Amino acid sequence: MKLHTYVIEHDLGFAPNPFFGACTLACCKADIRKYAKVGDFVIGTGSVKVGRQGYLTYWMHVEEIITFDQFWNDPRFTLKKPAMRGSAMQRHGDNIYFRDLHTGEWRWVDSFHSEIDGQLSLYNLRKDTSRTDRVLVGHEFAYWGSAGPKIPQSLSDFVVKFQGWKCNFQPDRLAAMLAWLSQQPERGYLGEPADWAHIDL
Mark the ranges of the chain whose per-residue pLDDT is less than 70: 200-201
Which CA distances in Å does 177 have to 41, 71, 89, 159, 170? 10, 30, 29, 11, 11
The reported pLDDT for the residue numbered 163 is 79
Q: What pLDDT is attached to residue 128?
A: 96
What's the domain count of the chain?
A: 1
Range of the domain at 186: 3-74+132-198
Is residue 192 a part of any domain in this protein? yes
Whether 194 is in a domain gets the answer yes
Residue 182, helix vs strand vs coil: helix
In a domain, 8, yes or no: yes
Output the pLDDT for position 112. 92
Is 82 domain-assigned? no
Burial (0-12, 13-18, 19+ Cβ within 10 Å), 165: middle
CB pairs under 8 A, 24+ apart, for 103-111? 109/81, 109/82, 110/82, 110/84, 111/14, 111/82, 111/84
Is 86 inside any structural domain? no
